[in-house]
């Protein structure tokens, strides 16, 4: 028999887009190999903020703090994290090693490296052996933004308000493109090299 809920609970549920208690604890863990990766990963953070997705951010290095990496990855599920975004550059082992210690979905963001422009990061993250998947995004800012959108898409199956936030983001993006059909009249930031 369905459980009876009070008027107050019903009102709160309606305000919360159908969920009695929308999660306030971090659902997405964003980790990065170095604080130098922040200028890339901050785009993931900004996008999650825009979508209203609770998240946490940490520097966790596969090479410099391997024990912390194991602790973070192994404990994330128990702490209520549902998706991990891991960004790293160069010999980017962080996303793969994280994925090896958890069954949570891990999204890898290849950070653009100085020596090889992020191709090293991309291949290190994408070329996982069969059995331990890492969802690999594009190099740099575009990958960071998309990792957040992808995390929201995953969470949207369980949290209707996140799915609706994502739908709104997409509609607004479409409307922005349609609002400027002629690039010769566009604002200066539409010039080449400024997009994600």
Residue 68 or 153: which CB sits closer to ligand RP5?
A: 68
CB of 111 to ligand RP5, least distance (A): 4
- Least separation, in Å, of the C-beta of 169 and ligand RP5? 27
Give whole-number Cα distances, 122 to 87, 112, 136, 143, 177, in Å: 10, 9, 8, 10, 29
CB 182, min distance to ligand RP5, A: 39
Nearest residue to ligand RP5, scored by beta-carbon proximity: 33
Nearer to ligand RP5 among residue 147 and residue 161 (C-beta)? 147
Cβ neighbours of residue 47 closer than 8 Å, sequence gap 6 or more: 144, 145, 148, 149
- State the Cα–Cα distance between residues 74 and 101, nearest whole angstrom: 5
CB of 73 to ligand RP5, least distance (A): 15
Nearer to ligand RP5, 90 or 140 (CB): 90
Find the shortest distance in angstroms from Cβ 89 to ligand RP5.
3
Output 135 or 156, the one with its CB closest to ligand RP5: 135
Least Å from the CB of residue 24 to ligand RP5: 29
- Return the number of the residue (30 or 166) whose C-beta is nearest ligand RP5: 30
Q: Is 44 within 8 Å of 32 (Cβ atoms)?
A: no
Closer CB to ligand RP5, 28 or 32, in the complex: 32
Please give the Cα distance from 17 to 7 (Å, whole number).
16
Which residue, among 45, 103, 37, has the nearest Cα to 73 in the 3D structure?
103
* Binding positions for ligand RP5, rule: CB under 6 A: 33-34, 36-37, 61, 63, 88-90, 111
CA dihedral angle for residue 5, residue 158, residue 27, residue 63, rounded to 10 degrees: 160
CB under 8 A, 24+ apart: contacts of 163-170? 164/17, 165/51, 165/52, 165/53, 166/51, 169/50, 169/51
């Amino acid at each position: 028999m369905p459980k009876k809920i009070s008027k107050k609970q019903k009102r709160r549920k309606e305000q919360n887009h159908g969920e009695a208690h929308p999660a306030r604890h971090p659902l997405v863990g964003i980790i990065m190999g170095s604080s130098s990766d922040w200028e890339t990963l901050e785009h993931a953070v900004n996008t999650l903020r825009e979508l209203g997705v609770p998240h946490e951010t940490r520097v966790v290095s596969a090479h410099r703090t391997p024990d912390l990496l194991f602790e973070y990855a192994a404990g994330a599920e128990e702490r209520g994290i549902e998706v991990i975004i891991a960004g790293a550059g160069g010999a980017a082992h962080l996303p793969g090693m994280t994925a090896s210690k958890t069954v949570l979905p891990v999204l890898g963001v290849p950070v653009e490296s100085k020596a090889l422009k992020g191709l090293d990061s991309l291949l290190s993250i994408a070329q996982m052996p069969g059995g331990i998947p890492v969802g690999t995004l594009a190099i740099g800012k575009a990958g960071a933004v998309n990792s957040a959108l992808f995390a929201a898409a995953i969470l949207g199956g369980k949290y209707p308000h996140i799915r609706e936030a994502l739908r709104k983001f997409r509609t607004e993006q479409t409307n922005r493109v349609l609002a400027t059909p002629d690039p010769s009249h566009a604002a200066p930031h539409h010039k080449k090299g400024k997009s994600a």
